[in-house]
Amino acid sequence: MTSTYHNEIKLGEVNYRLSATTDSAESLTLELLGALDSGEVIADGRLRLPVEGGATIGKLLSRVLGAHTRLRGRPSRYSNANQPWTDSLDTELRTAWLTPTDDPAPALIRSIADDMQRSPTAIRARLARVGCDPDIPGRELSAAAATLLGSMSGTTQGKT
C-alpha cells in the first residue's frame, strides 16, 4: 500500500513543499520543491531511503541543516576574522598598543579591533604573542611573562 504525507511552508519569498511517500514496506521517498511566487524553482531534490531509517535520517538532516544555518546565518562583523596574521599586522598591533594613550585597556582593545576588523578577543590574545601586556596599554611583557606566554617578541620584534 502506498501512503503520502505532504507539508508546505513559506519562508521569506520561497514556498517549500515536502512530500514523504512510502511505496512499499521497505522504501521511503522524500521530495522537496522550493519555488518563488513567480514559479521559478530554486530548490529541488529527491531522497530514497529505507522506511526504518526515516526518523533517524530526519534527526540527522535536522542537525546538519541546523548547524549549517547557524554557520551561514551569522556572518562575522569582522572582515579579517580568521585571516592569518602577518609581520606587518603584528607590527601595526604592537605600535598601536605601545603608543601612549589615556584609554583603559578594554576601550583600547575595542578601538584596535575596530580598526583592524578583528574581534576584541583576537586582539587581546595577539597582544601577548607580540610581546605586549594586554592588561596595561603601553607596556611590554616582561621577559619571564613573554617566555611563559610564548611571545614572538624576542624573534620578530627584537625585544623581550
Residues 147 and 125 in one domain: yes
Give 45-58 pLDDT, tens digit per residue. Answer: 998 888 887 778 88
Total count of domains within the chain: 2
Question: Is there a domain that residue 110 lies in?
Answer: yes
What's 103's DSSP letter? S
CA distance linking residue 101 with residue 137, whole number of Å: 7
Residue 60, pLDDT above cutoff 50: yes
Residues 58 and 93 in one domain: no
- Backbone phi, psi, residue 145, to 5°: -65, -40
> 127 falls in which pLDDT band (50, 70, 90)?
very high
- Backbone phi, psi, residue 14, to 5°: -110, 130
How far is the CA of 82 from the CAs of 22, 78, 85, 128, in angstroms? 46, 9, 9, 18
Question: Is there a domain that residue 79 lies in?
Answer: no
Residue 64's domain comprises: 3-73
Residues 94 and 50 in one domain: no
Per-residue confidence (pLDDT) for residue 123, from 0 to 100: 96
Question: Is there a domain that residue 42 lies in?
Answer: yes
Give 66-118 pLDDT, tens digit per residue. Answer: 776 666 655 567 889 889 999 999 999 999 999 999 999 999 999 999 999 99
Question: Is there a domain that residue 118 lies in?
Answer: yes
Per-residue confidence (pLDDT) for residue 63, from 0 to 100: 83
Residues 92 and 149 in one domain: yes
Mean pLDDT across 124-146? 91
Angle at 17 between CA 62 and CA 10, to 5 degrees: 85
